[in-house]
Amino acid sequence: MNSLFRKKSITQVLKDVEAKEKSGSSGLSRVLNVKDLTAFGIAAIIGAGIFSTIGNASFNGGAAVSMLFVFIAIACAFTGLCYAQFASTVPVSGSAYTYTYVSFGELLAWIIGWALILEYAVSNMVIAIGWSGYFCEMLEQFGIHFPEYLATDYVTARDGFAEFQKVTQAGGAPSPQVAAQAEAFQNAPTIGGLRVLMNIPAALVTTFITVLAYIGIKESRTTSNALVMFKVAVILVVIVIGAFYVNPANWTPFAPNGVNGVLLSVASVFFAFIGFDSVSTTAEECENPQKDLPRAIIYCLIICTILYVAIALVLNGMVSYKELKVDDPLAYVFKSVSVNAVGWQKSFLESLSGIIAVSAVVAMTSALLAYQIGQPRIWMSMSRDGLLPKSFGKIHPKYKTPSFSTILTGFLVAVPSLFLNMGFVTDLTSVGTLFAFIIVCAGVLYLDKQGNPSRFKVPYVSGKYLVGGLFLAMLVWSYAQGHFVENLQTKPLIAVLWLTWLGLSVASFVNNYSLLPVLGILTNLYLMTELGVSNWIMFLIWLAIGLVIYFGYGYRKSNLVRD
């Protein structure tokens, strides 16, 4: 049993990296500074979340979804601080995988690494699918109609066709998006009685980004920085100009579907913040990782939270939340308000809608690039430890990138994005990522207890009495609301949250734990309880596949076995 939790020491990890760099065998180039890392984090965070999934989140939660962004930003901030401490203590590629290895051992590290593979791959599928929608919208602005059946997956088209028939039979007018999906389904060619639909643009952009990630970190850095500056500029334009067309009446009711409606969007809003952790995957390509990585993680979280909250309020103020269930909400709202405009304002708003569609195509590309850079470096770290074949860790002699892993990443993103829809793939990512976040927060408690030195530490606030005090206060409040038993029945995982909180209360009193990492554990665990059954089923299936691979290969081939 102990062999399942065998660990690498922090000292040994740092010595191994230092030895590889001195011998020149690491193959990676240290070229990234804090500006590059911050841009990389913004590139990863601001992608499909703000250009696409924010529409569905607003449809469910109304303007109150802006408060959900704040809540999840706070949860991510607790976690981000823990990532920053680990990045300063163990400044090597591998992110949460490596942090878990030195804290809790190999088995849990494998689980986290396997979950991160899912996170990064699925995140890029979502971004690629969202990119495709904006790309087709951009082509329409130039009078080019891309065949719908070559830019839509089968399930989306089939469901759109069913919705189209339902609405028209009832005498209603289907939305343009539903009409386009129905058109795709009707016009799709058939082979053997099966309609052939696929998202060609999503696969092509993934292929292009994979090539860019393959040819070098310098080229990727320059491209990413330019795209991020452009992306942030576009978002600021949307916020500033959109503010002039906000109708405060659209903010009422603030939460049209109540708290439950807001919480329906936990998965999509949380997904919008995934990406700050990818900054730590570039640790071995940073000029000064122990100083710059923590700063970059904190900077990108602050900047992105401000932009998310502002854009959510503006979108919900420009149109009714009922209109926002679209894949291109930023372009849609300007197209919508242009209907009632006249003269130059009408022309300006229509043009702005087209510009946003073009801008989104460019801007979302940077998010694709960030994840396509991050995932191969996770595989590279796992390969170095013997848990994956050596080919996963192979560095290209000319381009200085993990060549095989980069190509495989592109393949595993491009092919599924041809056929899967956004709702399905969004459900795939959240559970594993939240689990990784919890382990990183718990790992900081372990680091502090071991007394490991670090150039950056999570600000210490004694949790000796506060964790237990907050537990009792929330328990009393929950009983007072009268929903305690009902919540346990409808969401059984809430019991895990309460039991974990009770255990952390006792442990904090005994060990005088720092409050912020504990809050990181609890907030991420709470978010896990709000996810749907489909999220858990998909994660458990993925986990089972990963464990088969680990016990079939990694457990026997691990470097710790040879050592």
- Provide the pLDDT for residue 344: 76
For the chain, how many helices (H) and strands (E)? Answer: 25, 2
| Cα 169 to Cα 163: distance, rounded to the nearest angstrom | 10
- pLDDT digits 0-9 by tens, 210-262: 888 888 766 667 777 888 888 888 888 888 988 888 888 989 888 888 877 78
- CB hemisphere CA count around 171 (13 angstroms): 0
CA 361 to chain centre: 18
DSSP 52: I
The residues facing 57 across adjacent strands are: none
How far is Cα 309 from Cα 505, in angstroms, rounded to an integer? Answer: 32
Mean pLDDT computed over 505-511: 94
* Whether residue 253 has a cis bond before it, omega within 30° of 0: yes
pLDDT score recorded for residue 321: 84
pLDDT tens digit sequence for 105-129:
888 889 888 888 877 787 788 788 8
Look at residue 556 and tell me whether its pLDDT is greater than 70: yes
Structural contact between residues 542 and 114, judged by C-beta atoms closer than 8 angstroms: yes
Predicted TM-score (pTM) of the model is: 0.80
pLDDT band at 204 (very low <50, low <70, confident <90, very high): very high
Flag whether pLDDT at 370 surpasses 80.
no
Confidence at 507, pLDDT banded by 50, 70, 90: very high
DSSP bridge pairs for 32: 286
- How far apart CA 325 and CA 177 sit, in angstroms, is 9
Measured in whole angstroms, how far is the alpha carbon of residue 24 from the centre of its chain?
Answer: 33
For the chain, the straight-line distance linking the first and the last C-alpha, in angstroms and rounded, comes to 18
Domains in the chain: ranges and CATH: 2-141+202-451+514-562 (1.20.1740.10), 154-197 (no CATH)
Token pair listed for 374: 């991050």
Q: Phi-psi region for residue 90, left (φ > 0), alpha (ψ -120 to 50) or beta?
A: beta
How far apart CA 147 and CA 478 sit, in angstroms, is 53
% of the chain beyond a pLDDT of 70: 91
433 against 35, higher pLDDT: 35
Long-range contacts from 164-172, C-beta under 8 angstroms, 24+ separation = none
